[in-house]
Amino acid sequence: MPNDSLDLSALIGSRVCHDLISPIGAIGNGLELLQMGHPQTPEMQLIAQSVQNATARVKFFRIAFGKASQDQQVNMGEAYSILRDLSEGGRITYELDSDIDPDRAGLQSAFLGALCLETALPYGGRISINHSLGMWEISCTGRRIALTDALMAQMTGKSTGDEVKPSEVQFLLFPASLVAQGRSAKVKRTETELALFF
């Protein structure tokens, strides 16, 4: 994907996430007001959990698909919070470990890689994101790892000829984000684990 197309995609991603986060936050605030002085019902708990997950998802997408530069830093507390909220009640659990606050561009690639690995976990599982000494490792484990050869080729930047579905756009953006940083990904795969290194 050309760099100008990548930049345009990032600007669109930033705009969409920016416009969505405010109304989702307003729903959360309204729910808190409704809960004041009223008993917690299962219905209210479900709505609260859905709002929390939607907020975390939009924040995750803002980092994964938004505009990023290498000189921007991301507070690890914010990143931990996003992944913790994503993990609650979901079929996929996230873990994050970093020795420093990472640069925004590196974390963007890590989140895009994590989205690729989500696709490989049809029955759920665990995704671990580790950052140490400037290197990233994103790995997933689950009962079954399912990823087509075509998507594997897209993810490692070895193919750009096949069309991808909207739900698979991360497989194009992940290698493009690495190229923009002068990096490339290595892959390790077994029946129950898939890992990306860059």
pTM of the model: 0.86
Give the confidence band of 141 by pLDDT, cuts at 50, 70, 90: very high
Q: Which range among 4-18, 78-92, 164-178 shows the weakest confidence by mean pLDDT?
A: 4-18
Of 148, 156, 159, 149, nearest to 198 (Cα)? 156
Q: Which residues of 154-187 are buried (b: 16+ CB within 10 A; e: fewer)?
A: bbbbeeeeeeeeeebbbbbbbbbbbebeebebee
Spatial strand order of the sheet with 193-197 comes to 92-98, 125-132, 135-142, 193-197, 186-189
Domain boundaries, the chain: 3-197
Residue 190 has pLDDT above 90, yes or no: no
What would the pLDDT profile of 145-158 be if each residue is shown by its tens digit? Answer: 999 888 988 898 88
Share of the chain above pLDDT 70, in %: 91
Q: Which amino acid is at 120?
A: A
Q: Of the ranges 10-19, 42-51, 69-78, 173-182, which is most confident?
A: 173-182
Give the confidence band of 99 by pLDDT, cuts at 50, 70, 90: confident
Q: What is the pLDDT of residue 69?
A: 67
CA distance 164 to 145: 19
What would the pLDDT profile of 15-39 be if each residue is shown by its tens digit? Answer: 776 777 787 878 888 878 878 877 7
Tell me the two tokens of residue 10: 């990032």
Q: Which range among 23-37, 133-147, 169-183 shows the weakest confidence by mean pLDDT?
A: 23-37
CA distance 159 to 55: 33
Residue 122 has pLDDT above 80, yes or no: yes
Residue 94 has pLDDT above 90, yes or no: yes
Q: What is the pLDDT of residue 70?
A: 63
CA distance 119 to 170: 10
In order, the DSSP letters of the chain are --HHHHHHHHHHHHHHHHHHHHHHHHHHHHHHHHHTTS---HHHHHHHHHHHHHHHHHHHHHHHHS---TT-B--HHHHHHHHHHHHTTSSEEEEEEESSPPBHHHHHHHHHHHHHHHHT-TT-EEEEEEEETTEEEEEEEES-----HHHHHHHTTS---S---GGGTHHHHHHHHHHHTT---EEEE-SSEEEEE-
Answer CATH for 3-197 from 3.60.40.10, 1.10.472.10, 3.40.50.720, 3.30.565.10: 3.30.565.10
Chain mean pLDDT for the chain: 86
Choice between 81 and 11, residue whose per-residue pLDDT is larger: 81
Share of the chain above pLDDT 90, in %: 45
CA distance 54 to 86: 8
